Structures are given as C-alpha cells and as structure tokens.
Amino acid sequence: MQEELKQILVEGLQEAGAAATSQELSAVRLKYFGKKGLITQYSRRLGMLSPEERPRFGKIINEVRQELEEYLTTREQELLALEEQRKLESERLDVELPGRRPRRGHPHPLQLIIQEITTTFLGMGFSVAEGPEVELDYYNFEALNIPPEHPAREMHDSLYITDKILLRTHTSPVQVRTMEKVCPQPVRIIVPGRVYRRDALDATHSPIFHQIEGLLVDKHITFSDLKGILTVFVQKFFGEDRTVRLRPSFFPFTEPSTEVDVSCGCQGRGCRICKNTGWLEILGAGSVHPKVLAMANYDPELYSGFAFGMGVERIAMLRYGITDIRHFYENDLRFLSQFS
C-alpha cells in the first residue's frame, strides 16, 4: 500500500507537471482529490485498517496528499500566470496603425492674429470696442479731420450706399464713436474689424480686409507713451529680439504721425520679405489730432492721446509666409488645415 501510494504520488506529480492548462490541471486535481479520486479512496480505506496500522498509513496518506496538493497549487499558479500572459499576448494590437481621431476644427489665420493681438492689448488694460461696418460719412471722414476734398472720399476709392453712408474704409470711425460715448472718461480701446475699399482683387489687394485700431485718450498722454506701448506690443508679437523704429509720416487724424517698422527676421542681412531694407512696415500711428479730440468733445488743452492701426492680413501674411491675400477668403481646406 505504501508502494502503491508512492506510485500514485509519482504519477500525480507527473500528470500535474504535464498539464498544459489550468483546465487540464483541474482534471488532474479531480482525478486524485475528487469524490472518487485516487487519494480520496485511500483515505476512505483508512477506516478499514487496523488501529495499529492506521496512524502510520494516515501519516503516509497525508504526506502524499500534502505534497501533491502543494505541487498542484504551485502548478496552478504557474499555469494561470502563463494563461494570463497568453491572453495578453493574444490581445496585442499593432500600435503603429493610425488612431481613431475625433474631428478637429482649424482656426482661421486672421482670427489667430486678431486673438493674439487682442490678448496682448487686454493685458495692457485695453478693452475691445466695436462699431458699424456700414458707416456714416461723418464718422468715417469728417470727424477724423478728412476734408470733403480728400481723395479717399471720392466714389472711386470708397463704396457708398447713399451720399451720406458708406462701407467704412478703416476702423477709425470707432475711435470717434467711442470718444463721443465715454467723454470725458479716458479711452483705452482696440477695434478689430472688417473694412472696405474699392480695390480689385489680386494677390495683394482685397476689397475687404481687416484692421485693428487702437486708441488711448487721457490727461497727460504723450508721444513717448505711444512709443512705449507699441514697443511692448511689437516685441511681444514679433519677438523680444526685434527692434522697433518710428519714422515720421502723415495721417489726417493724427499729429505727429508715425510709421512703425519692426526689424526684419533676416536681421538686416536683407531678404525678399523686407525688400532688402531690414525693416517691415507694420503700423501707422500718431498722437490724436487736436481737431479730432475737439470734435469728440474732449478739450485738447487737457486731454491728449494716441491712435494706431494695422492691417491684419498683412501681419498674417508676414507671420505665416502667405503670399496671396486671396487665400484668406477662399477657405480651401488644404490651407485652413495648416493652422491649429
């Protein structure tokens, strides 16, 4: 009997070792420890032995049982781990295949520029003012010190709706409207918006384009303040390494007036973009003309200010290397999808 048990143990260990899956292993466990299991049967037969033999065989059976069970447990853990591993292996994906992408919207480059500039000026205490695109002649010209004989007021340069109403040719009328509204409070605004000119469409001209206007009016505002604010803006927008250059210019509604240039990315080496000048013209600006202040009811002896304006398309073209203004309005997906 002892021999038989040893034989059973050897076979049991062998079978458990040979089991390839946890299922096979369960069958082995059943074969030895099930109700009719080989070892179970021996345990039952224990009762039939004499009291003297019982403890000895009981011990042997226990030893065999314990050894086999221990091995089965170990083996089971091994197999489960192996099976888990196989399962994971079978679930392997080709992670190099493209993912399932949610659709992504692309911002319009003009909006990106408007947003960036707006954010910068919000940070400097400016708010955003708006005004009508279909505008009174008075706000578009007269209140901006543009006399009736000025060439811009001719039918061939502007788009008129009636004798007194036209599509605004710049965002500057919003300057006047805002001043009229808040006078004598100080003004600190920017005005992004659409403007219209009687220009035929080509690579560099569009009858519709966008401007961003700025206006600051308060007591004791100087030309040097204009220089300060615009320098902060230009270096923030174009880079701290860029320099700003102001040179005298002329606009009817500012005096003194200035063009604001930023040094070109070519760093003066000369390139196609700056036409070898090393400078890019980006802004027109100046101190608000005393006549404009007076027409909006500010006393020019007490109040002063400055205004500036820039073309959004031009800035977008410079920043993104766009050579044809028409791209902005065609909305070709291949163009738009380059922006994010």
Partner 1 sequence: MRVSYNWLREYVPIDLSPAELGEKLTMAGLEVEEIIDFGASYRSLKIGKILEIEPHPQADRLLLCRLQLADGEVTVVTAAQNLRRGDLVPVALPGVTLPDGRKIEIAEFHGVRSQGMLCSEEELGLARKSTGIMVLPEGTALQANLDTVLGLDDHVLVLELTPNRADCYGMLGIAREVAAITGVEVKLPDLRVEEATEPIEEFVSIEVQDEELAPRYAGRVLLDLKLGESPLWLKARLLAAGMRPINNMVDLTNYVMLELNQPLHAFDLQQMKDQKVVVRSAREKEVITTLDDQERTLTRGQLVIADAVQAQCIAGVMGSGQSEVAEATKTVFLESAYFSPVSIRRTAQFFALRSEAAIRFGKGLDPETVPLALDRVAHLAQKLGIARVAKGVIDLNSRPFTPRKIRFRPERINGLLGTKLDSTEMFEIFKRLNFKLEEQPDGTCDLLPPSYRLDIEGEADLAEEVARIYGYDRIPATYPAAKVIGQLTPRQEFTEATRQLLLGCGLSEIKTYSFHGESMFERLNIPADHPLREAVRMMVPLSEEGSLMRTTLLTGVIEALSYNARRNQHDLQVFEIAHVYHPTTADALPEEPEHLAGGLSGKMFTPAWNQNDREVDFYDGKGLLETIFTALRVEKVTFRRGEHPVLHPGRTAILEYAGEPLGIVGEIHPQIKVEFDLVAPVVLFEINLEKLWQAACKEVVQVKALPKFPPILRDLALVLPEKVKVEEVMAVFHENGQEKLEAVQLFDVYQGDKIPAGYRSIAFSLTFRLEERTLKDDEVNAIMERIIEAATSKFGAQVRTA
Ordered strands of the 127-128 beta sheet = 127-128, 187-196, 208-219, 303-311, 279-288, 254-263, 244-251
Task: For partner 1, give the closer residue by CB, 2 or 338.
Answer: 338
In the complex with partner 1, the residue whose CB is nearer, 64 or 274, is 274
Contact 168, 198 (CB under 8 A): no
Find out whether 29 and 72 touch, Cβ atoms under 8 Å. Answer: yes
Query: Min. distance of Cβ 299 from partner 1 in angstroms?
Result: 13
Considering the complex, state which of residue 31 and residue 150 has its C-beta at the smaller distance from partner 1.
150
The pair of three-digit structure tokens given for residue 314, joined into one six-digit string? 């031009």
Q: Are strands 165-167 and 134-136 parallel, antiparallel or unpaired?
A: antiparallel
Task: List, in sequence order, every residue forming a beta bridge with 32; answer none if it has no partner.
Answer: none
The closest of 35, 55, 31 to 44, measured between CA atoms, is 35
- Nearest approach in angstroms of CB 28 to partner 1 is 43
CA distance 198 to 221: 35
Q: CA torsion sign, 278 to 283 to 288 to 292?
A: positive
Kindly state the smallest distance separating residue 222's Cβ from partner 1, in Å. Answer: 3
Nearer to partner 1, 42 or 233 (CB): 233
Q: Quick one: 74 or 267, whose CB is closer to partner 1?
A: 267
**By three-state DSSP, how is residue 140 classified?**
helix
- Minimal distance, residue 87 CB to partner 1, in Å: 22
> 43 or 249: whose CB is closer to partner 1?
249
Q: How far is the CB of 95 from partner 1 (least distance, A)?
A: 13
Angle between helices 38-45 and 2-18 (to 10 degrees): 160
Q: How far is the CB of 60 from partner 1 (least distance, A)?
A: 57
